[in-house]
Amino acid sequence: MEPAPEMKRNRFPSMNFEAEILAAPHDNSELYVVPSMRSLTAEEYVEAFKSFLDHSTEHQCMDEFNKEEMPRIMAGLGNGKSTINVLGVGSGTGEQDLKMLRILQAAHPGVLINNEIVEPNPQHVAAYKELVNQAPDLQGVSFIWHQLTSSEYEQQVKEKCINKKFDFIHMIQMLYRVEDIPNTIKFFHSCLDHQGKLLIIILSDSSGWASLWKKYRHCLPSTDSGHYITSDSITAVLRRLGIQYRVHEFPSGWDITECFVEGDPAGGQMMDFLTGTKNFLGTAPPALRRRLQEALCQPECSSKKDGRVIFCNNLSMIVVES
């Protein structure tokens, strides 16, 4: 998932783990209290996300989409205009944005591109700017950064009565953190120019995440990890809004083997990312740890390959028409 946690809200059903907070120490002397569980900060999320990327094919999956589908999508943008306007919402550190911009440049040689970015995390904005500084092939592309959440950007646009339209808007792995998903989609769809396109990349309903959230929600801690949503939730919103769309499914995997290796630092970071919890393995009640690790091994969530446990991280690329 892209590292763009927008806001902190607890949307989880209340879960009662109090009975499991007290645990017997190894020496059987007296009961001790397990340290309290808490959500990841924005900085901790960045670290956990990096561990996820290092062990998953998330970006390779997006590269396949860029290769197979994006040239055709980009070719249909702009409607012959001399300038194409692009908006990235929750763009993170910008790697995927720049790949798409290069495809757009190739599809429309000589056309100017105005690229605006909405990203709340200052670390990500700084990293994105550094990427741009190191990219000599992006002449003809202008960049404007808005260090805001999507809801803050929407509020600013409405308050200032800004009526700028975009030919291409993308929201990559960021809707999990949005306060009001239907209205957010409706707003950004309204920002599309004639024949513009909105790209939403979200976890597929065929992913292990979907099974984990649907069948094993009780295994997840009551921390602030965001919405449990997959592609089906998004397409249901689009149908209610009467908006046309196409869905492209792409396979992706995440090697979570180290999650089951006691004391492994990478495994600890992966579990933090999975649960949205800081030091989950060190602070979760033992019974909760066991339940979640057992759930992760279920065939609905993962498969075994060459002795490794590969979590299903399939993605849906939803292309929305203006």
Say if residues 146 and 119 touch (Cβ distance below 8 Å): yes
* C-alpha to C-alpha distances, 64 to 11, 105, 280, 316, nearest whole angstrom: 33, 18, 33, 12
Count of positions (residues) in the chain: 322
Strand pairing report for 315-321 and 192-203: antiparallel
Distance, CA of 9 to CA of 32 (rounded, Å): 30
For 293, the token pair is: 């690790």
Cα 260 to the center of its chain, rounded Å: 24
Residue 321 is assigned to a ligand binding site: no
Q: With residue 248 as reference, give the H or E element that holds it.
A: strand 245-250
142, β-bridge pairs? 114
Residue 133 is assigned to a ligand binding site: no
Say if residues 149 and 6 touch (Cβ distance below 8 Å): yes
Distance, CA of 239 to CA of 120 (rounded, Å): 29
- The one-letter code for the residue type at 278 is K
Which regions of 90-239 does DSSP assign to beta strands (E)? Answer: 112-118, 141-146, 166-172, 192-203
Which residues sit in the known binding site? 58, 313
Which residues sit in the known binding site for substrate? 58, 313
